[in-house]
Structure formats: C-alpha cells, structure tokens
Chains A and B, each alone.
Chain A
Amino acid sequence: GQNIDQPTEMTATEGAIVQINCTYQTSGFNGLFWYQQHAGEAPTFLSYNVLDGLEEKGRFSSFLSRSKGYSYLLLKELQMKDSASYLCAVGHASGGSYIPTFGRGTSLIVHP
C-alpha cells in the first residue's frame, strides 16, 4: 500500500516563508503532485515533480528527493489568501497503470 505523511496543521505570518513537508512510501513511484484546496472548494493543481530537485513557479516552489521519499512545498511572501489545505499526492503503479494517492493534507493558517 501507499503511505503518505504530512503535518496536519501549520500557522504562519503574512509576508513570511513556510515549508510544508511530505514523506511517502510507495511502490512504482511516478511523480509527486501538490494541490491547493480552499475551504468549501475543489483542489487545484499547484506543481508536479518527477525528477529530483527544485521546481519554482512564482511564489511557490516544490522540491523532490526520490531516494529519501521526501518532498516539500515552499510558499514565499505569504498572503492571507494562501490560507488553505495543501495536499501532497504521489503517483504510483496500480492495475497496470499509474494513479495518484492523496495525503490527508496540511491546513495552513496565515495570520496578519
């Protein structure tokens, strides 16, 4: 089976930097996704890593280490609108194909 761990909740201050970690154990790894989900809304795609290293996209960056089964999402210059749940999803082999399994999500609270 798949095992994905994320912190349940984090708090940070507006303008600061926050790092949300995700560790995983899986068979047939095929990429790692980060999604953002605001309360009462659907998840939306943020980033995708399949190779080791850092992917930067504006204020958001995502890092992957396949050997360590580890990823993080880095949010810079935090804004109040960044308060949301952040879901780590790991692509893995299943039924002759690859599908993602989602972690429980990290609820980020940004305060003034």
Chain B
Amino acid sequence: DAGVIQSPRHEVTEMGQEVTLRCKPISGHNSLFWYRQTMMRGLELLIYFNNNVPIDDSGMPEDRFSAKMPNASFSTLKIQPSEPRDSAVYFCASSLGPTEKQFFGPGTRLTVL
C-alpha cells in the first residue's frame, strides 16, 4: 500500500488567499484525522471523520477552516481566508478505527505570508 498521501507537500501563499489541502487515506481505513503541528502548540487534532462522517470538529480553530470527506478515499481541509498564524505543518492520518494506531501522511508545510 502507498500509505497516506497528502498534497501539496509545500504551500506558500499570501494572506487572504484560499488554501486547500488534500488527503487520500489508506484503503480500508474507516477513520481519518486532520492535525496541525507547530512548535508552540504541538500536534493538535482539528477534525476527525469516521466512515466519512465528521464526528468531532471541536479543534477547528474558527469558521475560516472547513473540512470535507466526500468519499472513503478523499478528504480536503480548506482555509479561507488564510492568515499568517495558520502557518504550520498539517498532517492527515488514517486508521482502521478511532482507537487503532494511526498512519500519518508526510504532511503539508503551509506558509502564509
């Protein structure tokens, strides 16, 4: 299996622009997680899907952030409009279930100027 796939790997954008991050989970995994990692705050859970349904989005910072999972093999995290404080590494992870070990994608390093 190719593992969790994320794109793009790097994104540099200007404040106010829309950013879309993409994730393809491992086939057969029912749970998908979006995380944000910064030096200041560590690894934070943004949103968690189970069987394509958002279960917990309490970690989504504000209305500028939205996430979708239209099918079992694809998810997006969108930031609109982006701000410099959104600069971070965004990881997508998938697992067989919410209490199973997670497999992380390589991450997207986002820089908002």
Known: A42-B105, A97-B98. Contact between A103 and B42, CB under 8 A? yes
A99 interfacial by beta-carbon distance below 8 Å: yes
Report yes or no: A99 in contact with B105, Cβ–Cβ below 8 A. Answer: no
Q: How far is the CA of A108 from the CA of B10 in the complex (A)?
A: 27
Q: Is B102 among interface residues, defined by CB-CB distance under 8 A?
A: yes
The size bracket of the interface on B is 20 to 34
Interface residues on A, range: 20 to 34
B50 interfacial contact with A, CB 8 Å: yes
B112 on the A face (CB < 8 A): no
| Cβ–Cβ contact A42 & B107, under 8 A | yes
Least CB distance, B58 to chain A, in whole angstroms: 8
* A residues near B44, Cβ cutoff 8 Å: 102
Contact residues in B for A30 (Cβ distance below 8 Å): 99
Contacts of A44 in B (CB 8 A): 104
**Chain B residues whose C-beta falls within 8 Å of the C-beta of A103 in the assembled complex:** 42
In the assembled complex, which residues on chain A have CB atoms less than 8 Å from the CB atom of B99? 30-31, 91, 98
State the main secondary structure of chain A at its contact with B: strand
Do the beta carbons of B48 and A99 come within 8 Å of each other? Answer: yes
Counting chain B CB atoms within 10 Å of each CB, which of A31, A41, A42, A87 scores highest?
A42
Interface residues of B in 33-80 (CB under 8 A from A): 33, 35, 42-45, 48, 50, 55-56, 58
CB distance from A67 to the nearest CB of B (A): 20
A42 to nearest B CB, angstroms? Answer: 4
Query: Is B42's CB under 8 angstroms from A105's CB?
Result: yes
CB of A65 within 8 Å of the partner chain: no
Chain A hits for B43, CB < 8 A? 43, 87, 102, 105
Residues of chain A with a CB closer than 8 A to B58's CB: 94-95
Closest to B48 in A: A99
Does A33 lie within 8 Å of B45, measured CB to CB? no
- Chain B residues within 8 Å of A, Cβ to Cβ: 33, 35, 42-45, 48, 50, 55-56, 58, 91, 98-99, 101-107
Q: Which A residues form the contact surface with B (CB < 8 A)?
A: 30-31, 33, 41-45, 48, 87, 91, 94-105
